[in-house]
Amino acid sequence: MSYQRYESLQPASVDAITGSRRGPVTLALAATVGIAAFTGLGGAAKAQVPPAKSAVAAAPASTIPTPAPVDLSKEHVLYMIGYSHLDTEWVWNYPQVINEFIPNTLRENYPIFAKHPEYIFNWTGSNRYKFMKEYYPEDYARLKQYVAQGKWFPGGSSVEEGDVNSPSPESLIRQMLYGNQFFRREFGKESNEYMLPDCFGFPASLPSIMAHAGITGFSTQKLTWGSAVGIPFNIGRWIGPDGQSVVAALNGGAYDKKIREDLSQSRRWFDRLEANGKKSGVYTDYIYYGEGDRGGSAGAESADWVVKSVKGTGPVKVIAARSSDLFSLLSPAQKAALPTYQGDMELTWHSAGSLTSQAMMKRWNRRNEFLGGSAEQVSVAASLLGAQPYPMAEITEGWLRFLPGQFHDIMAGTCLPEGYEFAWNDQILGMNRFSDVVTHGVGGVARALDTRAKGIPLVVYNPLSFARADVVEATVTFPGGVPKAVRVVGPDGKPVPAQIAGIENGGVKILFVARVPSVGFATFDVQPADAAVPAATSGLTVTKTTVENARYRVRLNVEGNVASVYDKAAKKEMLAAPARLAFQYERPRDFPAWNMDWEDQQKPPRAYVDGPARISIVENGPARVALRVERTAQGSRFIQTIRLSAGGERVEFADNIDWKTGESALKAVFPLTVSNPKATYNWGIGTVERGNNDPKKYEVASQQWFDLTDTSGDYGVSVLEDSKYGSDKPDDSTLRLTLLYTPGVRGSYQHQSSQDWGRHEMVYALQGHAGGWREAKTQSEAARLNQPLQAFQTPAHAGTLGRSFSLLSVSGGDQVRVAALKLAEESSEVIVRLFELDGKPAKNVRLTFAAPITALREVNGQEKPLDPKTTGTTGTTS
């Protein structure tokens, strides 16, 4: 099983786009001409694509239902959203959901439909509909009739009602892509809204992600559970970091609300509608009613009252509505008049612990996110070269295997332990499927490369959309047995820094520095050698207490802590005190896996991981040097490897932990020499600034990195991570990355008192930088950490591509990155999704593809065409 990450690449050939864009943009390159007409690259055959697909997908007719016309500027209109909440796993698991809650949801609604033609039921999650189709085909056939009649609406647009803090932006786009795709294919209907009634906080990036996917509305009721920013409005516009927005219904009320009155006569609701209208001129609101958390109907008695209210004669006009209706009805002018909010909407208590709970689930989810992207990239390359058909079914299977695990209780780490037996299995199956696709795809590309070698040929793959030189790890089998040393020759015929790192499963684990083009592949020749090359030849040194490369000098103290990180380029000490692993006392009053309490955060750490330490040199060669520190504390065992690579711009901490500690969060504490009351946190799309810990924000979320740059702007330090989402900032100069979380339990959820006990591996890093994080290219450094180069042993042969190949590159600076590169779902076009990273316009951006681009258009995240002005072989995005 292989579930690793990948990185950078370089240019290839001709046509391009130039543009200026702040947010995400997805381009469709017309592949009928671009791929089918392309037989070059050394005479490779035409790419094989699924024959049923058209060259360029026609713009599909909208399948979003049209709501009844209402004058929201005059009438007081209350949209009632009939719904039942289902926790697909929580204090139960999939078998009980499939055996009990799924059939109940179907069969409890049917008699209400028969009694009340006006009753409309909304239900989310294509994953749950797949259960219906597979296990209850007769009921499912009946359901399809109700959907066709407009009585049952497949809402929410997504695969699952997922967590939105841990999944990447690309995952969230895929939730909407695959969710609505299922609804269109099965029912001929889709939604324009994202429905998350029960979710543990919402990132500032989410409006931009939704808008990019063609979603125009969002609803929740969870902000009543201790939102750090309150409830910004009932109905308004939530604006993302790139200025795109969605209409948001933020105060939908409890999703299990029971209706026991004629709402048309309700003075309370009339007053709320009146207050909304006075702010915006739109006299409306959006309210859930129904059952939870086991599915079912919206409730027979509540349905009786809602229908009475619809027929009522009071001043409130009540509409039994589809979840999409309000968002479809609002005019552009009405949307523009709504109150606005921009920023995070995270919860104070009910998300702090969930950012770290169930560490393995979060780790494997991130592996799948990157493996899925790599599988698509290499498959586009292999099909372009005629090596194999694009494996659409296998790739889709991989995504739909792990995306359901982003359901909010599963991903947030708040399920029963038994639930993770199913969720982990799905994650592993997804990783295996993607790994198989990657291996076969790289093999297809390798067949066109020149892999002739004196020793063992390796093809190294870089998934990132910029060329890079990084250390790659590979396990190589030598026919003559284990050599004394290795010599590795790059595609240019020159030797690169290389060393033997150990023996693994009968193979030789080697490290070497590989330079690989953007979204590219390069051939390296691994040869046995008689003598190892000293580390000093690459500017690396290591002693029992120090590691050093051209950029950093790192010193350990007798306790095994990193006492000093000196940035030689900036002539700056980064640490004000030793970096340590701290045990923070955690015993929340309620909901232990979800919560952390402010009172506990006021206490000093209950203990630290200190000596006695066993320190040893474990890597000493021209590619990388490393020290291993072994310690025990509070019943847990810690093996920490501190390492520096040749040419490396970060100090890596690779932790292997056997965790058996309770009532604690394990935090990596970095007391820094820079000072600023605010730090910057990455959301994948956009960043946010947050202050020091306070009673409402004391454990906060980010993805891949966060940064503290001194108020002078002269110097800063970024913390990079490969699978951790929670952190805190106790003062102006200290950052703490939360690694593990096992809370004390006061009453319910006793099983959570030992959650995450067991073996864990993680990598995080420090990156010092002159100036701010943009100048430091922190985004790129975090991508390198998360998606390392990957090597594949291959047969030796001649090849028409030469010794390296780049599928695609983006020039014009490090500001724009390829987030996805895949075959379109409904045509043979190639989809390229671009993100702007710095939060400012990107100009003169040039996209270079390995085949002539014969047509180009902009599409949204669901791959639906946007403004046709971009059609052509080149275009300017705006």
Helices (H), 747-876: 773-776, 778-786
Could you tell me which of 322, 335, 337, 341 has the C-alpha nearest to residue 232? Answer: 341
CA distances from 218 to 84, 165, 200, 245, 868 (A): 17, 16, 15, 10, 27
Q: Which residues, including other chains, have CB under 8 Å from residue 570's CB and lie 6 or more apart?
A: 715, 768, 769, 770
- Tokens 């901490």 appear where? 653
680 touches 688 (CB < 8 A): yes
- E-assigned strands of 750-853? 758-770, 790-793, 804-806, 808-811, 816-823, 830-836, 846-849
- Give the model's pLDDT for residue 29: 62
pTM here is 0.93
Are the C-beta atoms of 551 and 509 separated by less than 8 Å?
Answer: no
Instruction: Please report which residue ranges of 794-851 form alpha helices under DSSP H.
Output: none
Judge residue 802's burial from the number of C-beta atoms within 10 Å of its C-beta, 0-12 exposed, 13-18 middle, 19 or more buried.
Answer: middle
pLDDT at 558: 96
Q: Please write the tens of the pLDDT for every residue from 305-314.
A: 999 999 999 9
Query: What pLDDT is attached to residue 872?
Result: 54
Which of 774, 255, 848, 854 is closest to 520 using CA atoms? 848
Residue 248's closest CA among 357, 330, 369, 309?
A: 330
Report whether 826 contacts 53 (CB < 8 A): yes
Contact status, residue 727 vs residue 702, Cβ threshold 8 Å: yes
What is the separation of C-alpha 550 from the centre of its chain, rounded to a whole number of angstroms?
33
- Measured CA to CA, the distance from residue 477 to residue 480 in angstroms comes to 9
pLDDT digits (tens, 9 = 90+) for 208-224: 999 999 999 999 999 99
Q: What is the mean pLDDT of each run of 10 residues along the chain (878 residues)?
A: 26 30 59 26 29 48 77 97 98 98 99 97 99 99 97 98 98 99 98 97 98 98 97 98 97 97 98 98 98 97 98 97 97 98 96 98 99 99 96 99 98 97 98 98 98 98 97 95 95 97 91 98 98 89 98 98 99 99 98 98 97 96 98 99 98 99 99 99 97 98 99 99 99 99 96 98 99 97 98 98 96 85 95 91 86 88 79 46
Task: Verify cis geometry, omega within 30 degrees of 0, for the bond prior to 293.
Answer: yes
Q: How far apart are CA 163 and CA 181, in angstroms?
A: 20
What are the structural domains of the chain? 25-59+356-444+808-870 (1.20.1270.50), 76-353 (3.20.110.10), 456-538 (2.60.40.1180), 544-786 (2.70.98.30)
Q: Which two tokens stand for residue 295?
A: 């599915």
Tell me the residue type at 735: L
Strand-strand pairing, 121-124 and 152-155: parallel
